[in-house]
Amino acid sequence: MSDVTLTEQAAGYEMQLTLTRQSQDVLLTLTGGDVSHYGVVTAVGSDGLHTIALPSRPGHVHQEGVLTEAIARILQPVLQGNAIITGGMHVNKISSVQMHAAFAMTKGLGQQAHDWLVAHPVAKISETFAK
Protein backbone atom coordinates (compact mmCIF):
# COMPACT_ATOMS: atom_id res chain seq x y z
CA MET A 1 0.00 0.00 0.00
CA SER A 2 1.27 3.46 -0.78
CA ASP A 3 1.22 6.35 1.64
CA VAL A 4 -1.75 8.69 1.88
CA THR A 5 -0.88 12.35 2.51
CA LEU A 6 -3.54 14.71 3.84
CA THR A 7 -3.05 18.48 4.08
CA GLU A 8 -4.55 21.53 5.76
CA GLN A 9 -3.55 25.18 5.27
CA ALA A 10 -4.28 28.19 7.45
CA ALA A 11 -2.64 31.30 8.90
CA GLY A 12 0.16 31.30 6.33
CA TYR A 13 1.45 27.74 6.69
CA GLU A 14 0.60 24.12 5.91
CA MET A 15 0.45 20.93 7.94
CA GLN A 16 0.57 17.41 6.53
CA LEU A 17 -0.49 14.06 7.93
CA THR A 18 0.96 11.05 6.14
CA LEU A 19 -0.66 7.68 6.80
CA THR A 20 1.01 4.31 6.13
CA ARG A 21 -0.64 0.98 6.89
CA GLN A 22 0.90 -2.37 7.84
CA SER A 23 -1.88 -4.96 8.11
CA GLN A 24 -4.38 -3.42 10.54
CA ASP A 25 -1.85 -1.07 12.15
CA VAL A 26 -1.17 2.50 10.98
CA LEU A 27 1.76 4.87 11.20
CA LEU A 28 0.91 8.56 10.94
CA THR A 29 3.42 11.38 10.59
CA LEU A 30 2.32 14.94 11.39
CA THR A 31 4.68 17.59 9.98
CA GLY A 32 4.58 21.14 8.71
CA GLY A 33 5.42 24.76 9.21
CA ASP A 34 8.93 26.06 8.58
CA VAL A 35 10.84 23.13 10.12
CA SER A 36 9.44 19.59 9.98
CA HIS A 37 11.04 17.16 12.41
CA TYR A 38 10.31 14.26 14.77
CA GLY A 39 9.63 15.61 18.25
CA VAL A 40 6.99 13.37 19.82
CA VAL A 41 5.65 9.86 19.46
CA THR A 42 2.14 8.87 20.53
CA ALA A 43 1.22 5.18 20.59
CA VAL A 44 -2.46 4.27 20.48
CA GLY A 45 -3.65 0.82 21.46
CA SER A 46 -6.43 -0.93 23.25
CA ASP A 47 -4.79 0.18 26.52
CA GLY A 48 -5.00 3.90 25.70
CA LEU A 49 -2.51 6.58 24.65
CA HIS A 50 1.18 6.80 25.50
CA THR A 51 3.23 9.85 24.46
CA ILE A 52 6.98 10.38 24.54
CA ALA A 53 8.26 13.95 24.08
CA LEU A 54 11.87 14.20 22.93
CA PRO A 55 14.28 17.03 23.85
CA SER A 56 13.96 20.14 21.68
CA ARG A 57 16.69 22.32 23.19
CA PRO A 58 18.42 22.37 26.57
CA GLY A 59 15.80 22.21 29.31
CA HIS A 60 12.83 21.81 26.94
CA VAL A 61 10.92 19.02 25.24
CA HIS A 62 8.80 19.14 22.11
CA GLN A 63 5.18 20.17 22.66
CA GLU A 64 3.50 18.53 19.65
CA GLY A 65 2.02 15.85 21.92
CA VAL A 66 -1.09 18.01 22.29
CA LEU A 67 -1.51 17.66 18.53
CA THR A 68 -0.67 13.96 18.19
CA GLU A 69 -2.93 13.10 21.12
CA ALA A 70 -5.79 15.08 19.54
CA ILE A 71 -5.40 12.99 16.39
CA ALA A 72 -5.20 9.81 18.47
CA ARG A 73 -8.51 10.57 20.20
CA ILE A 74 -10.20 11.16 16.83
CA LEU A 75 -8.85 7.90 15.36
CA GLN A 76 -9.08 5.57 18.36
CA PRO A 77 -12.76 4.61 17.84
CA VAL A 78 -12.11 3.43 14.26
CA LEU A 79 -8.68 1.80 14.58
CA GLN A 80 -8.59 -1.86 13.62
CA GLY A 81 -5.21 -2.34 15.31
CA ASN A 82 -2.58 -0.08 16.81
CA ALA A 83 -1.41 3.35 15.68
CA ILE A 84 1.86 5.18 16.06
CA ILE A 85 1.70 8.94 15.51
CA THR A 86 4.90 10.94 15.18
CA GLY A 87 4.75 14.70 15.26
CA GLY A 88 7.09 17.55 14.57
CA MET A 89 6.19 20.93 13.16
CA HIS A 90 7.71 24.28 13.89
CA VAL A 91 6.61 27.73 12.74
CA ASN A 92 9.34 30.32 13.20
CA LYS A 93 8.21 33.11 15.56
CA ILE A 94 4.73 31.58 15.73
CA SER A 95 1.93 34.04 16.43
CA SER A 96 -1.11 33.42 18.60
CA VAL A 97 -3.27 33.20 15.47
CA GLN A 98 -0.93 30.62 13.93
CA MET A 99 -0.84 28.60 17.16
CA HIS A 100 -4.64 28.46 17.30
CA ALA A 101 -4.69 27.50 13.61
CA ALA A 102 -2.50 24.48 14.41
CA PHE A 103 -5.26 23.06 16.61
CA ALA A 104 -7.94 23.59 13.96
CA MET A 105 -5.75 22.10 11.22
CA THR A 106 -4.90 19.12 13.44
CA LYS A 107 -8.58 18.45 14.03
CA GLY A 108 -9.22 18.64 10.28
CA LEU A 109 -6.34 16.27 9.52
CA GLY A 110 -7.51 13.85 12.19
CA GLN A 111 -11.02 13.85 10.75
CA GLN A 112 -9.69 13.28 7.22
CA ALA A 113 -7.64 10.31 8.48
CA HIS A 114 -10.66 9.00 10.41
CA ASP A 115 -12.80 9.13 7.28
CA TRP A 116 -10.08 7.46 5.19
CA LEU A 117 -9.70 4.59 7.67
CA VAL A 118 -13.47 4.04 7.77
CA ALA A 119 -13.58 3.97 3.94
CA HIS A 120 -10.57 1.60 3.64
CA PRO A 121 -10.83 -1.21 6.20
CA VAL A 122 -8.54 -4.22 5.85
CA ALA A 123 -9.11 -7.86 6.70
CA LYS A 124 -7.26 -9.31 9.68
CA ILE A 125 -4.41 -11.55 8.62
CA SER A 126 -4.24 -14.86 10.47
CA GLU A 127 -1.21 -15.05 12.74
CA THR A 128 0.33 -18.23 14.18
CA PHE A 129 2.79 -18.41 17.05
CA ALA A 130 5.47 -20.85 18.13
CA LYS A 131 4.62 -23.22 20.98
For residue 78, being part of any structural domain is answered with yes
What integer is the mean pLDDT of 36-64? 96
- Is the pTM higher than 0.85? The answer reads yes
**Is residue 52 situated within a structural domain?**
yes
Q: Is 125 exposed, middle or buried (0-12, 13-18, 19+ CB in 10 A)?
A: exposed
Residue 1 placed within a domain: no
Domain tally, the chain: 1
In a domain, 43, yes or no: yes
Contact 65, 40 (CB under 8 A): yes
pLDDT at residue 1, rounded to an integer: 61
32 part of a folded domain: yes
Residues 63/120, Cβ–Cβ less than 8 Å: no
CATH number where 25 lies: 3.30.230.100
The residue segments making up the domain with residue 23 are 17-119
Does 21 fall in a domain?
yes
In tens, the pLDDT along 78-120 reads 999 999 999 999 999 999 999 999 999 999 999 999 999 999 9
pLDDT of residue 2: 77
HSE at residue 83, side-chain half, CA atoms within 13 A, is 29
The pLDDT mean for the chain works out to: 96
128 belongs to a structural domain: no
Residue 40 falls within a domain, yes or no? yes
What's the rounded mean pLDDT across residues 63-88? 97
